[in-house]
Structure 1
Amino acid sequence: KRGNRQQLVTNYCFGHPNSTVHLYPFGPTIHLVNHYNRPNARLRWADQSVEASSQETQTSLTTLPSLDQIRTRSAPKSMLLELVALRNIRKGEEITINYGRGWEDAWWRHVRRWESTHDPESSDGAFAHDHYVPASVIDDAAKTIRTEAEQKENPYESNVVITCFYRYGDRTESERQKAKEASLKSPSQSAIITYRWKMTRGIYDLKNLRPCSILKRKQGDTGRSAYAVRMFNRPNHDESHDDDRIPEDQLHIVTHIPRSAIRFMDKQYTTDQHLKQAFRHPIGLEDNLFPAEWMDLT
């Protein structure tokens, strides 16, 4: 959850209205099975027979972990549910299951209450969505990137942040020594360290994206632009990768960055899936699939 809002993953979990237990399925294609109140398939625990009686079903449920095991994370890492047909399914026919009355009621309640206008920017960091434009759309449309000075007059949408593909650890030994000497010369203030951007193997891996601010733009004879930017560390930077962490006492400037190495990214919690009124409800499992011990809300 974020605040009192549930995450999108809730919609893909199996649950029960009388239980706090949510089961997340990770098998292939299971997330593509939609709801229909006249389904052609259903779920069952893997050790149940198709014609299992209520007694046989209850017996098979006793092999599932206890609620205490789930809460203490000592339960098996996986429990196997099978998707079985209720009748012959035609070639090309969509496979559906019944998500349950609780899910269906929640969905239609959501549809009736839905409003197309979005909440204004709130104090908890959720951005206004009245004029929301995904970062990917801005990235495709922006052939050149505005500098910080230009953005003061013509800012980008508030839901995006500019990032650059860059690895601080790609510096040569001489560049590292130069940075160390610059830091020693000005111990009382941030040293301005400048590097030229390098195209190195794997540089366009998403893990190499980090926040950056555009300082200058220069257009070459070919019409392509190159940028000088200030690089920042990623939020929640992994301390175990200190070789890629820019020291706090450095103003790290990188020049000759091509447009292809700059990306617009959505700020956290600003995409449509984070709207306060977005639909969130687990897929309902039948009563006979949930052990009585898991019913901790009754």
Structure 2
Amino acid sequence: MVFIAILAITPRYSQGIGGLHVFALVWLSLFACLSTTASCDLYLAQSTIPEAGLGVFTGISRNPGDILGAGDVCIPLLDPGTHHDDLFDPFDDFVWMGEDMGMKMEIESQVKAFCPGLDCAINCNLALINVEKHGVDFDDAGLHRSQHPGAGATTPYFNSTTKVKRRLPAGGELFKDYGDSWFTSRQKFDGVPLSDDFAVAQNLVDTAFNLGDANTDRLHLQHLFEDILIPIGEIWNLTTLKALPSSFDEVLIANREDIGMTHQPNATRSLEWLEVNGKCIDNIVPGRSTIDGAGHGAFASRNLPKGTVVTGTPLHHIPFQDEFTPMYRVVTRGQKQYLDRREVAGQQLVLNYCFGHPQTTLLLCPYGFGVNYINHNRSKANVRIRWAQNGITSHDESWLLKSPSEMLAETGAHLALDYIATRDIKRGEELFFDYGEGWEKAWYEHVKDWQSTKFWSSMYRNGRDWDSELQKLPLRTTLEALADPYPQTIQIRCHSILDEDAWTNFTRSVFEYGYPCEILDRVKGEDTDYMYTVKLTTEPHNEYDTEFESSETLVVNNVPRDAIRFVDIPRTSDIHLRDAFRQFIGLPNELMPEAWKNLKGKA
């Protein structure tokens, strides 16, 4: 099937914050064409991996190249290790490196990407990696900081898609590759076979079969496995032995297909089991909101009768908001930067995506698919939330009796919400939820204050704007920029390919950031485009780029315009605005347990 969608970011507010521009009818036609052999195409349920919590399962068979879901939003967590020195990090096992998600230039130090939805819920089984990430797109939905009070209040990183890479049976659990370092950096996974172990194990299986011939009978092959393969395997380390098939029948499967297929039966749930024990997570598709200026909204992918569980979401818990979401003022002294913990400069953007209540320090951050697309609209609300059934999607009712302090010992999900249709909802109808009086009051106060400051940012353009607007114009040389400088909020970076012969038919990756550079000279190219001589200042290597071990200055000739990019100076994008809107979504009073009320005087 061929379909076209225009994508941007998630809206959070009915008052006009922009979002992901997806044609809802196109997505809905996609869902209509899917197999009807199951009542749901994606489920959230207990993982087949012991003690791994929840996992995502397919309700229909899938083939390599299939796209799952409609794309998740990704929220930057800015330098969490510096701003938050507390050891409690509820997102640690659920984030991707921000550099891999296009976020490197948000901040000079570490940035992590929290992508609630499929990205956050899919587990990793290194023997059976069947889906892969496809990065993210960037779009601020045209919310200029001088024209809209919602600028900086939503993440511009969106459409983090998931693609099938090997055949999946109906009921199969989805697994993404976290990378070996994710396991080696966590002591509890000592002894878990890694990628190389499964590769070596596969090679041992293939070697054993290559010792025979086409007429080798089953008994002889079994002898090769038990008397040759296993002894050979014993010279390898313990984790490699764990990666070997556990029976001769599995050896036959591993030789016929691969070792991953020997793990498929244990990684598959029956559709009947998923219907009873899981939550359908494909009742929501994103699309253009019906609220003027709201951007993206959540729409029903099928008819949803009153009382239907539209979707369910587990929750990350942050027992003490003030120890995780505040961001402190950065002070520069000479060549070094410090945090002044006496002054809070802002809040992490993730606050806008979490539930809170004025009587507790506890924050609850949902990571179910689709929930972050539901806009606020008190008068048109057609869904409400309730606590999930005990034991389903990791909800543990005993946690409603715990105080925030007692929650510090656990970082896994123990609480979950259901989103319930409050009336019959037709396929294609937009979903709305009431964020609460506190949220509305905070928003209107923000709009009032913002009106008095919007003039000062009217001339702002981000790096992507400059890149687009100046694409066909000659770039200023260093000397020219002395008389006509570029804004102080942007810098020029050049692609890191240093071999001039490699510029032919050049295309750059969205995640290739290049290095800071200066334009020394330009000459007219053969096809009227300019070619540039640039001076690169390389940066020391990190775990993603080992080309340079220390900074170097290099001059490169004949660099095309497509290899040069304007980017934002760190800490200057909209999400860093001091007056960007920050407010948690209100947890309804009727869902608020007494045990959580550690701020009773602030009701």
Question: Normalised by the size of structure 1, how large is the TM-score?
Answer: 0.73
Q: What SS class does the counterpart of residue 132 from structure 1 fall into? A: coil
Residues in 2 aligned to 1:233 and 1:66: alpha-carbon distance in whole angstroms: 50
For CA contacts below 8 A with separation 6 or more, give which structure has more relative contact order.
Answer: 1
Does 2:408 align with 1:71? yes
Q: Does 1:44 align with 2:386?
A: yes
| Worse-matched range after superposition: 93-102 or 107-116 | 107-116
Query: What corresponds to 1:156 in structure 2?
Result: 486
Q: What SS does the aligned partner of 2:543 have?
A: helix
Give the match for residue 357 of structure 2: 16
Question: Matched residues, percent identical?
Answer: 34
Cα distance change of structure 1 residues 32 and 99 upon mapping to structure 2, 3 Å threshold: same
Contact 1:44 1:82 survives alignment (8 Å): yes
CA distance in 1, matches of 2:437, 2:558: 59
Letter in 1 for 2:421: A
Structure 2 residue aligned with 1:240, among 527, 531, 543? 543
- Code of the aligned partner of 1:80: A
User: What residue is the counterpart of 2:327 in the other structure?
Assistant: 2
Kept in 1, the 8 Å contact 2:490–2:568? The answer is yes
Give the secondary structure class of the aligned counterpart of 2:362.
coil
SS at match of 2:567: strand
CA-to-aligned-CA distance 1:65-97 (integer Å, 9 cap, x gap): 76346435x231474322111111234332111
1:230-269 correspondence to structure 2 within 5 Å: 230-234=535-539, 239-241=542-544, 243-245=546-548, 247-248=550-551, 250-269=552-571
- 2:451 aligned residue: 115
Structure 1: how far apart are the matches of 2:436 and 2:588?
Answer: 7
Aligned to 2:370: 29
1:121-270 mapped onto 2 (5 Å cutoff) = 129-142=457-470, 143=472, 144-167=474-497, 196=500, 198-199=502-503, 203-234=508-539, 239-241=542-544, 243-245=546-548, 247-248=550-551, 250-270=552-572
Report deviation, 1:224.
1.4
Residue in structure 2 matching 1:96, options 413, 432, 435: 432
Structure 2: distance between partners of 1:290 and 1:245: 53
| SS, match of residue 136 in structure 1 | helix
User: What's the secondary structure of 1:139's corresponding residue?
Assistant: helix
TM-score normalized by the length of structure 2: 0.38
How far apart, in 2, do the equivalents of 1:283 and 1:238 lie?
40
Give the direction of change, closer, same or farther, for the CA distance of 1:2–1:60 in structure 2 (3 Å limit): closer
In the alignment, the residues of structure 2 paired with residue 208 and residue 270 of structure 1 have an alpha-carbon distance, to the nearest angstrom, of 17
Residue type at the aligned position of 1:71: L
Query: Is 1:12–1:282's contact at 8 Å kept on the other side of the alignment?
Result: yes
SS at match of 2:412: coil
**Amino acid of the residue matched to residue 141 of structure 1?**
E
From the superposition, tell whether residues 160 and 100 of structure 1 become closer, same or farther in structure 2 (CA, over 3 Å). Answer: same
Partners of 1:32 and 1:242 lie apart in 2 by 35
2:573 corresponds in structure 1 to 271
Q: Determine if contact 1:16/1:284 at 8 Å carries over to the other structure.
A: yes
Of 71, 79, 84 in structure 1, the residue corresponding to residue 420 of structure 2 is: 84
Distance 1:261 1:115 in 2: 39
Provide the C-alpha distance between the structure 1 equivalents of 2:378 and 2:510, rounded to a whole number of angstroms.
44
What letter corresponds to residue 230 of structure 1 in structure 2?
K
> In the TM superposition, what is the alpha-carbon distance from 1:13 to its structure 2 partner?
1.5
Segment drifting more, 259-268 vs 61-70? 61-70
Write the distance in 2 (CA, Å) between the matches of 1:118 and 1:85: 39
Deviation at 1:33, TM superposition (A): 0.6
**For 1:257, what is the secondary structure of its paired residue?**
strand
Task: Give the superposition deviation at 1:295.
Answer: 2.9
Q: Tell me if the contact between 1:232 and 1:246 (Cα under 8 Å) persists in the aligned partners.
A: no
**Separation of aligned partners in 2, 1:78 and 1:148:** 56
Cross-structure match for 1:294: 596
In 2, distance between residues paired with 1:268 and 1:155? 18
Distance 2:543 2:574 in 1: 33
SS in 1 for 2:468: helix
Q: CA 1:70–1:256 in structure 2 vs 1: closer, same or farther (change >3 Å)?
A: farther
Superposed CA deviations along residues 133-160 of structure 1, whole A, max 9, x for unmatched, are 1222211111221111111111112211
DSSP 3-state at the match of 1:293: helix
Tell me the distance in 1 between the aligned counterparts of 2:583 and 2:446: 10
- Contact 2:399 2:414 (C-alpha < 8 Å) held by counterparts: no
Distance in 1 of aligned mates of 2:507 and 2:492: 20
2:547 alignment partner AA: D
CA deviation vs aligned residue, 1:85-114 (integer Å, no higher than 9, x gap)? 111123433211111111111112222332
C-alpha distance in structure 1 between counterparts of 2:520 and 2:569, whole Å:
21
Between the aligned partners of 1:199 and 1:95, the Cα distance in structure 2 is 48
Query: Structure 2 counterpart of 1:240, which letter?
Result: E
- Alignment CA distance shift 1:294-1:211 (3 Å): farther
| Structure 1 pair 69–167 and aligned structure 2 pair: CA distance change class (3 A) | farther
Kept after mapping to 2: 8 A contact 1:41/1:96: yes
Query: Do the aligned partners of residues 36 and 222 (structure 1) sit closer, same or farther apart at CA in structure 2, a change above 3 Å counting?
Result: closer
Paired residues in the alignment total 251
Amino acid of the structure 1 residue aligned with 2:469:
A
SS at match of 2:502: coil
